[in-house]
Amino acid sequence: MAAPVEGDTSHFVRRMPSWDEGRYPDESEVDYLLRLVLINLQTLAADAETCIRAYSSSVPVADDLANDFDTHVEQLEWVAPPGSIPQDVRAKIRAVNAKLDKMSGPQDPDLWSEEGLRTRAEWVVVRRLAREAVEALGYEPEPPPPWSGRTYFLGRVRVPERLFQWLDGLRNDLRRRFR
């Protein structure tokens, strides 16, 4: 992806047609990680019930989502060349990560439970910050698809069927957009 002009998010698509977490053969590492961060942000921005339904009941939703987001943001910071992501977008992404980091500090297991995800004010702030970051990326906030009970393997990653289909559409859209 060519380096955008500071503050210009016109190179991003407006709607996410896919939730595919696999890396595509013609996708740069930066584009791939940015897409994963966007998927995490879209899920973090969703209401608690939608977020919970996007995962298997055997998965600790809040923990997994926060850990995945932190990992993807950290990896993106390592590989993204200076200027490849506008500063305002970076600031919005970092604000979400900083809030999650602050929440991780105190030993409060209720905060990371499904009930905490539903009722705690900290998660209201995370959802607002995530929506702001999604919009800064030039996307409309969209809820993740519910977990279908079926999974697909993309490399070593297991993903629900609807997520696989949604992300496959995003991949195709990004391929058309960034050729």
Residue range of the domain that includes 131:
29-144
Asked if residue 9 has pLDDT above 70, the reply is no
Query: pLDDT higher for 11 or 96?
Result: 96
Burial of 144 by CB count in 10 Å (0-12 exposed, 13-18 middle, 19+ buried)? Answer: buried
Task: Confirm whether 128 is domain-assigned.
Answer: yes
3-class SS of residue 46 = coil
**CA 38, CA 22: separation in Å to the nearest integer?**
14
User: pLDDT per residue over 29-61, tens digit each?
Assistant: 888 889 899 999 999 999 999 999 888 777 888
Rounded mean pLDDT of 3-22? 53
101 lies in a domain? yes
- Per-residue model confidence (pLDDT) at position 169: 72
CB 137, CB 38: distance < 8 Å: yes
pTM to 2 decimal places: 0.74
Task: Based on DSSP, count helices (H) and strands (E) in the chain, helices before strands.
Answer: 7, 2
Domain count, the chain: 1
Looking at the domain assignment, is residue 168 inside a domain? no
Residue 157: how many CB atoms within 10 A of its CB?
Answer: 12
Q: How sure is the predictor about 13, in pLDDT bands with cuts at 50, 70 and 90?
A: very low
User: Residue 82 domain-assigned?
Assistant: yes
Chain-wide mean pLDDT for the chain?
81
Higher-scoring residue by pLDDT: 151, 73: 73
Mean pLDDT, rounded, for 65-89:
92
The answer to whether position 96 is within a domain reads yes
Residues in Cβ contact with 145 at an 8 Å cutoff, skipping those fewer than 6 apart? 19, 54, 160, 162, 163, 165, 166
Residue 24 lies in a domain: no
Residues 9-37 have a mean pLDDT of 71
pLDDT of the residue at 96: 98
Would you say 130 and 45 are in contact if contact means Cβ atoms under 8 Å apart? yes
Between 39 and 171, the higher pLDDT residue: 39
Q: Could you tell me which residue, 155 or 131, shows the higher pLDDT?
A: 131
Residue 93 lies in a domain: yes
Looking at residue 11, its pLDDT comes to 47
Whether 9 maps to a domain, the answer reads no
Query: Which of 4 and 21 is assigned the larger pLDDT?
Result: 21
